[in-house]
Amino acid sequence: MMGAVASFTLMAVAGREVKLDLDTFEILAYRSAIGIAIIGAIATLRGRWQDIDLRRPGLHLTRNLVHFGAQNLWFYAIFTIPLAQVFALEFTAPLWVLILSPLFLGERLTRPRIVAALLGFGGTLLVAQPGATPISAGLLAAAGCAVGFGLTYILTKKLTATASTICILWWMTVLQTIFGFASAGIDGQIALPSPASLPWVAILGFTGLMAHFCIAKALRLAPATLVMPFDFLRLPVIAVVGLLLYDEPLGPLVLIGGALILSGNYLNIRAEARRRPG
């Protein structure tokens, strides 16, 4: 999980470093192209190409369109608002899963889930501070990416019934490379990474896959009640990184709101562990 925290943090910093050279579509296109190379190498070395098929193509397409949109919003947000605000609002994604899962997965909205969602909503209000500060495009993008990531988790859960992890990741990188270059080329121009930004683009491609690999590996080694609270360290870590690298102030309302959001997530994790002790 420390690897996941480091990967997500590096990805945010790398996104900031390339923002002057590339737009969000170009960033995602190059990042996904690097992902194709990494997943392809893993499939070849481990002999896993037989696990990559295209059953349920419509679900793969829908999942990756939603994920592509959410990632674009995430990168736009990290360009325009403090990193701690982005990460705090991103942590509402699991709470959106709680709200949307009864509609898409037929799951029951239990009392702990309702309490967790309310805590997350209260935390979101503190982070966004509607009325006290103008609601910017960056804040709306961060909130929108959380909804998109929540929908992505739900669609991924549907896909896991018929597709392996490597299959899901392969079609994610392939489709999002196509989406990225197609979107970047609408204006007739696709910028190439400069020599200075090329290492940061490589970091984006590597950390995007490494973060999810680390989380999956951690969940295989230990229960979610032990693993997932470590993911919450992303918020204070990115707040310190924002302060040190970009002089972003550590606003108390952002930290308090983030704590409420994380409390809601942790309450749900504990409740789910009690319901499913196995």
> Tens place of pLDDT for every residue, the chain, 278 residues?
889 889 999 999 999 999 889 999 999 999 999 999 999 999 999 999 999 998 899 999 999 999 999 999 999 999 999 898 898 888 888 788 888 888 887 777 788 878 888 888 888 888 877 666 678 899 999 999 999 998 998 898 888 888 888 899 999 999 999 999 999 999 889 999 999 999 999 999 999 888 878 887 887 777 766 676 777 788 888 888 999 999 988 778 888 888 888 888 788 778 777 766 55
* Nearest in space to 86 (alpha carbons), one of 77, 73, 75, 76: 77
Residue 214 pLDDT: 86
* Residue-level pLDDT at 276: 62
Q: Is 133 helix (H, G, I), strand (E, B) or coil?
A: strand
pLDDT at 130: 65
pLDDT at position 228: 67
pLDDT of residue 132: 62
Whole-number pLDDT of residue 74 = 95
> What does the CA dihedral 75, 116, 257, 263 come to, rounded to 10 degrees?
-100
CA distances (Å), 265 to each of 98, 122, 245, 268, in order? 10, 13, 28, 5
Structure tokens at 5: 């925290």
Identify the pLDDT of residue 100. 84
* Residue 265, pLDDT score: 79
Question: Which residues, other chains included, contact 65 with Cβ-Cβ below 8 Å and sequence gap of 6+?
Answer: 179
The predicted pLDDT at position 16 comes to: 93
Which pLDDT value is given to residue 153?
Answer: 86
